[in-house]
Structure 1
Amino acid sequence: MRCYRLFYLLLLMPLTALYGCNDVGQDETYVIRLGHQLDINHPVHKGLVFLKEELERNSEGKMSIVIYPSSQVGDEREVLELIQIGSMGMTKVSASALETFVPEMKVFSLPYLFNDQAHYWKTLNGEVGKALLAAGEQYRFKGLGYFDAGSRSFYTTKKPVQSPDDLKGQKIRVMNSQTAVSMVNTMGGSATPVSWGELYTSLQQGVVDGAENNLPSFYFSKHYEVSQYLILDEHTSIPDVIIVGTHVWDQLSPTQQTWLQDAMQAATDYQKEMWAESTEKSLEIVKEAGVQVIAADKEQFQQSVAPIYEGLRGTELEKLVQEIKGLGEKM
């Protein structure tokens, strides 16, 4: 089914229609196609719309982006594969979804890595963040920058989670990320990968007992309709990565690359503000809808995942963790 879907997309979207080409005329617009999985009301989508508008402004209409939201062209992995074969130009993807392609991205899925938002953005905007963006180029992914995706917390359908012990026996949906699987299992839950598009039904029908995500996604997905309990343990802060395929980036002139990179920086600043507003509003709405919101004892959760960090000893990932932790200590 998945292969059929990819084949069908390729038939519908020939390469020259997908991302433009070098021989566009002087008065023509170079168009980049971007696919992602989120709702059009989501702050990440709004950030991408701002990116499109900034690129058009910077280039005086000579470059543009066409956005396909709501999984119109596939889930995160499918869109990444389309970029690799040259059939899609750009995407927004969680850093966790990049683990399979860019192993260094696993670091963002480690629980309680950052001290606070200042530490988070110092890492993303600094040498560590830039190096991780560049690490994808050998896999045909050029990282343009990061969008805020907040902190992820657990939500459940049957009983509240107030400590890691409460996760025992509960099937918790996670992204297709080995690091996320390891985290939930180490805490005592039973990690169960389920695609984003199938999660509402899975929660409703009891295929899984809960999931974990950020507040805006919990709200916009309407998962709060079938999940009575939200525990604000904020175990991970996994950024979204804005990617352009190297097949597109390498076609662009230095001036075009600058237009796109400048638009990305402006969109990051805009999206951070949108995210903060959306997070606050989402929490208010789910509370009004009757969701029981529980303040977590984060120290208990931090202690429960200590074995994950112990398992990193002597690895390259441990060095990266130490570098990130060192940035926090200097603040």
Structure 2
Amino acid sequence: MASSRFTAQHVTRRTLLGATGLAGAAAALAACGGGNDGGGASNGGGSGTMMRLALNQTETHPSYIALDNFGTALEESTGGAWGIDVFPNETLGAQQETLQMASNGSVEMSIVSGTQLENLNPDFLTLNMPGAFDNIDKQMQILQDPAIVGELFASLEESQNITVIGGFTQGERSAYSTVGPIMTPADLNGQKMRVQESDLHLAMAAALGATGTPLAYGEVYTGLNSGVIDAAENNEISYFTQAHYEVAPYYSFTRHLVGTDYLIINTETLNSMSEEDRAAFDEGWATAVQEHTGLWAEQTEQAVADAEADGAAFNEVDADAFQEALAALPEEFLTEESQTALWDAIRGAQG
């Protein structure tokens, strides 16, 4: 089996590795100064505020590279007043845990999937809906339009002490299986498919022909290898970097969803920035989004080539059959006026 060919040159000097679970998270936080006067961000020996950012991806993933560069740029642009220390590989815990940690301030920032946010505000499921975005370019346009998403991104500030800064693409998510190629929803009949913990994603799996099985991201490889699940759905990069292709070698381009990962920050931390530092933060984030999107395109192409070289098989599907199977989901799930208004704005912006 060939090893990953993605470059490791961006691996940060600041990464802490080896800690796992909540016990590991506590050790990692203590190691970087998390014990300062109530567990907030490390003051770096008085030289500035180093915010901890929890991430569930590897050091070669576009999210890590873009966020690590974001942190370096923020230190430079604020004269060392603010920085970001990125913790990859679920070092600080799974997304559900780090979401709570960002809320209470024990970790300042985290990348979380849309399903985590829809559990706090159901309006987020509008952006998580199959068919919401035509493609990645349209997705990025909408996620950076405050007229469409501004109110939604601020909706958790009062109740959860969390501000949503924006989103990275998860790419076009497709299905992959241990059983064989998937051409139509009928090919998934009887297969247990890993989905994120969400009523929408459970319904999506059923519409795709499978039985939805919620499972933590870090448990997917073992689940596929042991037969706990027969299939999963994700983008090509995660498929390769998490080595899922080793145990589920059939990747079918269902392209049923353009997913989003959101950057969240503790609202009190964000509000403590000066006007100048907040402007630098926002500028740095905009640059990170642009870098991430470019890296995503490059690494998606490379991931497919590398997985194929290691024995995975990719195939196109009957796209019309999958679109038809999923067509009823918006009407079923978008039942509130706020959701339908947001849906109309998202679809209207794509012309």
Task: Give me the TM-score of the superposition, normalised by structure 1.
Answer: 0.91
- Who is 1:287 aligned against? 308
* Shift of residue 235, structure 1, vs aligned partner: 0.8
CA distance in 1, matches of 2:222, 2:129: 28
* 1:96–1:108 contact (8 Å) kept in structure 2: no
Q: SS at the partner of 1:114?
A: coil
Counterpart selection for 1:5 from 15, 22, 25: 22
Give the superposition deviation at 1:20: 4.4
Q: 1:181 aligns with which of 202, 205, 227?
A: 202
Confirm or deny that 1:191 pairs with 2:186: no
Match of 2:109 among 90, 102, 112: 90
Q: Does 1:157 align with 2:174?
A: no
Deviations 1:41-92 (A, max 9, x none): 1111111111111101211222211111111110001001111122110111
Change (3 A) 1:59 1:225: same
Is the contact made by 2:57 and 2:64 (CA closer than 8 Å) also made in structure 1? yes
Q: Give the secondary-structure state (helix, strand or coil) at the position aligned to 1:328.
A: coil
Answering whether residue 326 of structure 2 is matched by residue 305 of structure 1, we say: yes
Name the CA distance, whole Å, in 2 between partners of 1:262 and 1:30: 18
Cα distance in 2 between the residues matched to 1:243 and 1:173: 25
Q: Identify the residue that residue 134 of structure 1 maps to in structure 2.
A: 154
Read off the aligned partner of 1:151 and give its amino acid letter. E
Per-residue CA deviations over 1:86-125 (Å, capped at 9, x if unaligned) read 2110111112221112322111221122222332222112
The answer to whether the Cα contact below 8 Å between 2:57 and 2:89 also exists between their aligned partners in 1 is: yes
1:34 Cα deviation (Å)? 1.0
Matching residue's letter, 2:66:
G
- Tell me whether 98-107 or 306-315 shows the greater mean CA deviation: 306-315
Matched, 1:166 2:178: no
Amino acid at match of 1:35: A
CA contact (8 A) 2:181 2:250 kept: yes
CA distance in 1, matches of 2:292, 2:299: 10
Q: Which residue of 1 aligns with 2:9?
A: none
The root-mean-square deviation of aligned C-alpha atoms, in Å, is 2.1
Letter in 1 for 2:22: R
Aligned equivalent of 2:343: 321
Do 2:139 and 2:169's aligned partners in 1 also have CA atoms closer than 8 Å? no
CA distance in 2, matches of 1:107, 1:20: 36
Segment of structure 1 superposing worse, 55-64 or 43-52: 55-64
- Greater alpha carbon shift after TM alignment, 107-116 vs 239-248: 107-116
Higher RCO structure, 1 or 2 (CA under 8 Å, sep 6+): 1
Give 5+ residue unaligned stretches, structure 1: none
- Whole-Å separation in 2 of the counterparts to 1:94 and 1:280: 23
Distance in 1 of aligned mates of 2:25 and 2:140: 40
Corresponding residue number in structure 1 for 2:85: 66
Counterpart selection for 2:144 from 113, 122, 125: 125
Q: Residue 89 of structure 2: SS of its match in structure 1?
A: coil
Structure 2 residue aligned with 1:99: 118
Go from structure 1 to structure 2 and tell me whether the alpha carbon gap of 1:118 and 1:36 turns closer, same or farther (over 3 Å shift): closer
Aligned to 1:150, what secondary structure does the other structure show?
strand
How far apart, in 1, do the equivalents of 2:95 and 2:229 lie? 21
Question: SS of 1:147's equivalent?
Answer: strand
| Amino acid paired to 2:164 | G
Query: In the alignment, does 2:68 pair up with 1:49?
Result: yes
